[in-house]
Amino acid sequence: MGRWTGRVRRTALAAIVTGALVVPLSAAAHPVIPAPPPARLGTVTAASLDAAYAANRATAERAAGMAADHGDTARARELRDMASGGRTFLTLDPRGQGRAAEVFGDLAHADRIAVLVPGSDTSLDTYDRFRAGALALREKLDGRTAVVAWLGYETPGTVSPAVATTGRAESAAPELVAFVRQLRTIAAVPAGAPGGPHVSVSLVCHSYGTVVCASAAPGLTGTAAVSDLALVGSPGTGAGSVADLRTGATVWAGRGADDWIADVPHTKADVFGTTVGFGTDPVAAAFGAHVFAAGDGGHSDYFRPGSPSLDNLARIVLGRSADITETTHG
């Protein structure tokens, strides 16, 4: 029976990959949207944050004009929104799928910082839904806590070969480590102690973003240290257990009762010479994470206002571990 179950799982994974192979062909047919390169900012410090924000808004404005001239009204609209209303982007690259890091709150004087790491199908064209989650979390926090929506890597498509392997995550991991180090340098600390240990950084990772966070975990030490890793809607992380993450951070995991990700096989298999799948379910006892109540929501509901998952994520970020509603393992 065990052998048959293994075959079924491997067959399912192979079907996902094989069926997804057509996606890059259709995606490649879309023309590239013209866009300017990112602003040249140099090393951003607390003193230069406002200048960086202004430069990135100007980049968004230029990119919006180029997208409009190209006939892509949806991309132009999104970029105009990014250029308006005093939006605060620490980084912005409007080329291709797009990359961005938007700050909510006073980063220069933050005692705590939450970094949201998104999953598949997140780009400038779908950025609003990612931003909405960051805003919802920020509403639950105090004035000394900043939230950063980090779209700092090329996310895979939900139906694509890349979404079933760690390749994109491994490429993104050094970028995430460097970004956390930058945040800790910018945030207010005692004189002579840049990036001091009292600045608490939490990573809140969703779906494929949990694979990114797991890949980055061994490097998130010292000046890039994080206090907590919160994994929600995870397909697995590529690690067999919390110990395999090689992190000093507290690792949390949550999954909504109606999240389809629970039905994804939590295993690894060799498919055409590529390792497919991410192994142990993070809400399983064998993984060893602290499992928190995430309510009855689906895969896109973890940041829904009023939900148990959002309440518990806010408590994790604020360091209120005694108030977190823990639950039994999945």
> Whole-angstrom Cα distance, residue 64 to residue 137?
28
b/e sequence 209-225, b meaning 16+ C-beta within 10 Å: bbbbbbbbbebbeeebb
3-state secondary structure of 187: coil
| CATH homologous superfamily for the domain 2-30+97-323 | Alpha/Beta hydrolase fold, catalytic domain (3.40.50.1820)
- Amino acid identity of 309? S
> Whole-angstrom Cα distance, residue 301 to residue 136?
11
Per-residue pLDDT of the chain (330 residues; tens, 9 = 90+): 443 344 444 344 434 433 443 333 333 334 689 999 999 999 999 999 999 999 999 999 999 999 999 999 999 999 999 999 899 999 999 999 999 999 999 999 999 999 999 999 999 999 999 999 999 999 999 999 999 999 999 999 888 888 888 899 999 999 999 999 999 999 855 544 444 457 899 999 999 999 999 999 999 999 999 999 999 999 999 999 999 999 999 999 999 999 999 998 898 887 877 778 999 999 999 999 999 999 999 999 999 999 999 999 999 999 999 999 988 766
The ranges assigned to domains in the chain are 2-30+97-323
Place of tokens 């990114």: 212
Spatial contact of 297 and 309, defined as CB atoms under 8 Å apart: yes
The three-point CA angle 122-125-127 to 5° equals: 55
